[in-house]
């Protein structure tokens, strides 16, 4: 079963999904061991009991979020489906197939950012780069130069997430050699969710920040930019060379910069908040849903619409349009419509 389980994990659409599947299956197998249940002979009633147990495993004694439980049950169901197909009858059915899962809201749970808040966040990143440059110039110690390099990296990463709406894993998994040119545009190649090879153009705002970061990193390593190798976004040793930046570090830096920028929801933000803001801003700017869907790599437009349903959704309610039309036919324009 270990070989089949390993093969199942490799079929995941992304590294993030693979890790989630691995955690969810480990939790389920732990429960089976606790209940002295052979998972290969589990019945639907056993899975129903597991669902109840999983719902009670939230943080600080609270119930788990519906999305967390739904994902956990989906992972287990996917594992059983893989075993049914590949065990020649040893596992005859998927006991989780008919299990009722928690209903997940169609609204994105991500703490959102307005366009003004995104601008404030990026301005704060610029401010930090400038401050650390002054400090490094006044007292050019290895530690101060490393902090300046980290500020340049963080600014480049935030611009990439904000301007392209990438998943944070898509950004952090990139290597320097995946920056390229195509049709006169600076582009970034990457492997998206579903292991689809994609290429996105870089706005000059983002490209300039990446170039400045890479130039400083190359100088710290004593090489030219063309000689740089390894991760596009690296942790910063005093020599400018280290490993790949990890997601927890991005959370910490994002929230610190957001707090410094005076953003009220700073302690609830995640890198995904910038992806959410990208979709919302694009739709508000009039970009067609299908173009936003393509940019974000969504197979289903309903996924894109989840990002699009934010605090401004009331402004697009069809009732306002129909009400305005009906009022105009009667020779009256409601004040609320005039204000909009």
Between the two ends of the chain, the Cα-to-Cα distance in Å is: 61
Q: How far apart are the C-alpha atoms of 204 and 187, rounded to whole Å?
A: 10
DSSP 185: E
Name the band, by pLDDT with cuts 50, 70 and 90, for residue 236: confident
Q: What is the mean pLDDT of residues 179-184?
A: 88
Closest CA to 253 of 240, 269, 275: 269
Q: What is 214-233 written as a DSSP string?
A: HHHHHHHHTS-GGG--SBSS
pLDDT for residue 292 is more than 60: yes
* pLDDT tens column, 301-340: 666 676 665 544 545 555 445 566 666 666 555 444 444 4
Class of domain 2-86: mainly alpha
Q: What is the mean pLDDT of residues 159-174?
A: 90
* pLDDT tens column, 99-112: 888 876 555 556 77
- pLDDT value at residue 303: 65
pTM of the model: 0.63
Instruction: Indicate where the chain has its CATH 1.10.443.10 domain(s).
Output: 115-309
Closest CA to 215 of 133, 266, 153, 172: 153
Backbone angles phi, psi at 182, to 5 degrees: -155, 125
Instruction: Indicate where the chain has its CATH 1.10.150 domain(s).
Output: 2-86
- pLDDT value at residue 331: 58
Q: Give the CATH fold of the 115-309 domain.
A: hpI Integrase; Chain A (1.10.443)
- 8 Å CB contact between 160 and 210: yes
pLDDT for residue 87 is more than 80: yes
Q: How far apart are the C-alpha atoms of 200 and 103, rounded to whole Å?
A: 34
- pLDDT value at residue 324: 62
Closest CA to 100 of 59, 58, 55, 56: 55
């Amino acid at each position: 079963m270990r070989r089949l389980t390993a093969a199942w994990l490799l079929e995941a659409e992304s590294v993030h999904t693979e890790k989630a599947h691995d955690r969810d299956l480990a939790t389920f197998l732990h429960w089976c061991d606790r209940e002295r249940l052979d998972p290969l002979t589990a019945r639907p009633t056993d899975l129903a009991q597991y669902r109840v147990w999983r719902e009670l495993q939230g943080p600080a004694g609270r119930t788990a979020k519906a999305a967390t439980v739904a994902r956990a049950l989906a992972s287990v169901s996917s594992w059983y489906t893989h075993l049914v197909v590949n065990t020649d009858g040893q596992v005859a059915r998927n006991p989780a197939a008919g299990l009722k899962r928690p209903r997940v809201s169609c609204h994105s749970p991500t703490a959102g950012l307005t366009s003004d808040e995104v601008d404030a966040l990026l301005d704060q990143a610029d401010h930090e780069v400038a401050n650390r440059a002054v400090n490094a110039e006044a007292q050019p110690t290895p530690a101060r130069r490393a902090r300046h390099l980290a500020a340049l990296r963080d600014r480049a990463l935030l611009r990439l997430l904000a301007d392209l709406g990438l998943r944070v894993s898509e950004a952090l998994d990139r290597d320097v050699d995946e920056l390229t040119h195509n049709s006169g545009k600076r582009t970034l190649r990457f492997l998206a969710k579903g292991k689809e090879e994609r290429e996105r153009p870089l706005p000059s705002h983002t490209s300039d920040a990446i170039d400045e970061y890479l130039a400083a990193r190359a100088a710290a390593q004593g090489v030219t930019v063309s000689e740089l190798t390894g991760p596009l976004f690296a942790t910063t040793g005093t020599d400018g060379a280290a490993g790949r930046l990890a997601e927890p570090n991005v959370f910490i830096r994002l929230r610190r910069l957001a707090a410094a920028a005076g953003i009220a929801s700073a302690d609830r933000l995640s890198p995904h908040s910038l992806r959410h803001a990208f979709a919302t801003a694009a739709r508000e700017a009039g970009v067609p849903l299908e173009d936003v869907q393509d940019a974000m790599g969504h197979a289903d437009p309903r996924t894109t619409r989840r990002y699009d349903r934010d605090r401004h959704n009331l402004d697009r309610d069809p009732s306002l349009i129909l009400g305005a039309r009906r009022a105009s036919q009667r020779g009256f324009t409601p004040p609320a419509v005039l204000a909009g």
